[in-house]
């Protein structure tokens, strides 16, 4: 059962509630709010690693990236668009600041990484071949699929024989020979086996890294532990034991270092961990429907804004506040919270197999606000224009500094790509 007092402490402090209602009046709803102090707190928690490299696909707002960069965090990019975002945020190409990670190059991105000398983390041998042809001396990492994976859902498991990601571990000895004969410059080895992983398998991952290193038979300068660090979405979840995590990787690092002549750094590549808890989605309650004995509260945000519940059955803390920023309390009812999309699956309270879940929640009134907590990761970056709904604004609060960092897309902008239709061929 949901405990109202939890929300006050962990999700929405009274001050933050007031900020949300003020912004709702100013900007309209729905909108995203990010708290920079929480991002900084999370960065501090990872100081046991030599290098923190942010996986910007979790949240790529340029202004958020600037804050992250100023706190000494490096970055990765998984597309040409993300390379452009990193550069716009002040990251330098041609240095260790920015690494391109993928299993494939499209033609445009290949040209771009060669031109800007961006180190590439290669998830397929085809990438290595294509890069070796065009760019001798290019810095590369190898993303390895160790033969197993873990993740919070099938869709976020990124290792094992069913995963498209990484270079299959059995091909490494052969690959070592290929890299030596090409003129590519090997930086390090990387494994990212899933998102929101549990740590029972950490020892196994570290051992797989050492084994991969041995098979490859080349000196490396760095090992990347990938991302996947979880955050406590449920109030009864524990925080990740970061120190234990860093310690285990340190043991692996020392083993590798002992069998070569150059030092090895450990990188960690978090996405969710840095930004999830910093973000809120604020929507307005527009209908409170009684259906049989239960209720649907329908808000003005849909899965085109926040898709995680519809896509993975993910859980987000939900609470309601009134326009004066008081937490809505009172008798608890069986409540499902849904969006406005013309789609039965547009429900924020559902489990992994798509069954609608009714939660014990107090009933809000029309005009109250609905707050989705822990929405800073894979929220706005996974939004779409489905049902022809424009992308919504983003705001960063940093102490007393409150900034609109993305304005609301207009309907005109949304339609503009279709304006000048013309005949391509007769
Ligand atoms: C998505 C991704 C990450 C970040 O995953 P989180 O679960 O958000 O930490 C890190 N590395 C790679 C290669 C990824 O694809």
Please give the Cα distance from 204 to 25 (Å, whole number): 51
Residue 404's SS3 state is: strand
Name the burial class of residue 181, with classes exposed (0-12), middle (13-18) and buried (19+) by CB atoms within 10 angstroms of its CB.
exposed
Helix axes 36-44, 62-70, angle to 10 degrees: 40
> Is any atom of ligand 1 closer than 6 Å to the C-beta of 58?
yes
Residue entry with tokens 């009684």? 290
- Residue 104 has, within 13 A of its CA and on its CB side, a CA count of 4
Nearest residue to 208 (alpha-carbon basis) of 268, 249, 257: 249
**Contact in structure between 348 and 309 (CB atoms under 8 Å):** yes
Please give the Cα distance from 286 to 387 (Å, whole number): 18
Report, in angstroms and rounded to the nearest whole number, the Rg of the chain calculated over CA atoms. 23
> Is any atom of ligand 1 closer than 6 Å to the C-beta of 272?
yes
pLDDT for residue 4: 39
pLDDT for residue 11: 54
pLDDT in tens, the chain (426 residues): 233 344 444 456 668 999 999 999 999 999 999 999 999 999 999 999 999 999 999 999 999 999 999 999 999 999 999 999 999 999 999 999 999 999 999 999 999 999 999 999 999 999 999 999 999 999 999 999 999 887 777 777 778 888 899 999 999 999 999 999 998 999 999 998 777 666 777 888 999 999 999 999 999 999 999 999 999 998 877 778 898 889 999 999 999 999 999 999 999 999 999 999 999 999 999 999 999 999 999 999 999 999 999 999 999 999 999 999 999 999 999 999 999 999 999 999 999 999 999 999 999 999 999 999 999 999 999 999 999 999 999 999 999 999 999 999 999 999 999 998 888 987
Residue 199's SS3 state is: helix
pLDDT for residue 235: 81
* β-pair type (369-372, 51-55): unpaired
User: So what's the architecture of 4-32+276-414 in CATH?
Assistant: Beta Barrel (2.40)
Q: Which atom of ligand 1 is nearest to the CA of 190?
A: 13
Catalytic positions? 342
DSSP state of 200: G
> Is any atom of ligand 1 closer than 6 Å to the C-beta of 276?
no
* Right CATH for 47-269 from 3.30.70.2970, 3.20.20.10, 3.40.50.12660, 3.30.9.30: 3.20.20.10
**Contact in structure between 294 and 333 (CB atoms under 8 Å):** yes
pLDDT for residue 1: 28
pLDDT for residue 265: 97
Domain locations along the chain: 4-32+276-414, 47-269
| Close Cβ partners of 162 (under 8 Å, ≥ 6 residues apart) | none
Mutate to test the pocket of ligand 1, among 192, 193, 278, 374 (most ligand atoms within 8 A of CB): 192
Q: Give, for 263, the enclosing helix (H) or strand (E).
A: none
């Amino acid at each position: 059962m949901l405990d109202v007092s939890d929300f006050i402490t962990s999700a929405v402090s009274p001050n933050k509630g007031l900020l949300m209602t003020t912004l709702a009046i100013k900007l309209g709803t729905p909108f995203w709010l990010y708290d920079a102090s929480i991002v900084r707190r999370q960065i501090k928690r990872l100081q046991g690693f030599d290098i923190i490299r942010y996986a910007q696909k979790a949240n790529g707002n340029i202004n958020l990236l600037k804050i992250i960069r100023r706190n000494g965090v490096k970055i990765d990019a998984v597309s040409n668009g993300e390379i452009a975002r990193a550069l716009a945020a002040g990251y330098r190409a041609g240095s260790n600041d920015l690494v391109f990670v993928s299993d494939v190059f499209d033609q445009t991105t290949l040209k771009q990484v060669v031109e800007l000398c961006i180190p590439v983390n290669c998830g397929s041998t085809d990438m290595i071949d294509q890069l070796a042809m065009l760019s001798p001396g290019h810095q590369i990492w190898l993303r390895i699929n160790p033969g197993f994976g873990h993740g919070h859902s099938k869709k976020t498991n990124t290792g094992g024989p069913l995963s498209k990601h990484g270079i299959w571990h059995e091909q490494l000895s052969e690959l070592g020979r290929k890299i030596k004969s090409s003129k590519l410059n090997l930086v390090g080895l990387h494994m990212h086996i899933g998102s929101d992983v549990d740590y029972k398998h950490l020892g196994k991952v570290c051992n797989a890294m050492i084994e991969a290193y041995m098979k490859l038979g080349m000196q490396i300068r760095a090992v990347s532990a990938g991302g996947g660090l979880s955050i406590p979405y449920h109030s009864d979840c524990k925080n990740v034991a970061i120190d234990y995590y860093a310690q285990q990787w340190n043991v692996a690092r020392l083993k590798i270092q002992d069998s070569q002549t150059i030092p090895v750094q450990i990188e960690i590549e978090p996405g969710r961990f840095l930004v999830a808890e910093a973000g809120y989605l604020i929507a307005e309650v527009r209908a409170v429907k009684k259906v049989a004995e239960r209720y649907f509260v329908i808000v003005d945000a849909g899965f085109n804004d926040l898709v995680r519940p519809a896509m993975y059955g993910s859980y987000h803390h939900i609470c309601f506040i009134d326009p004066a920023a008081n937490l809505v309390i009172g008798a608890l009812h069986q409540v499902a919270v849904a969006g406005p999309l013309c789609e039965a699956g547009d429900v924020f309270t559902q489990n992994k197999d798509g069954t609608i879940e009714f939660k014990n929640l107090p009933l809000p009134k029309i005009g109250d606000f609905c707050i989705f907590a822990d929405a800073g990761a894979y929220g706005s970056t996974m939004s779409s224009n489905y049902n022809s709904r424009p992308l919504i604004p983003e705001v960063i609060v940093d102490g007393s500094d409150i900034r609109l960092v993305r304005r609301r897309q207009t309907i005109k902008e949304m339609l503009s790509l279709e304006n000048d239709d013309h005949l391509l061929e007769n």
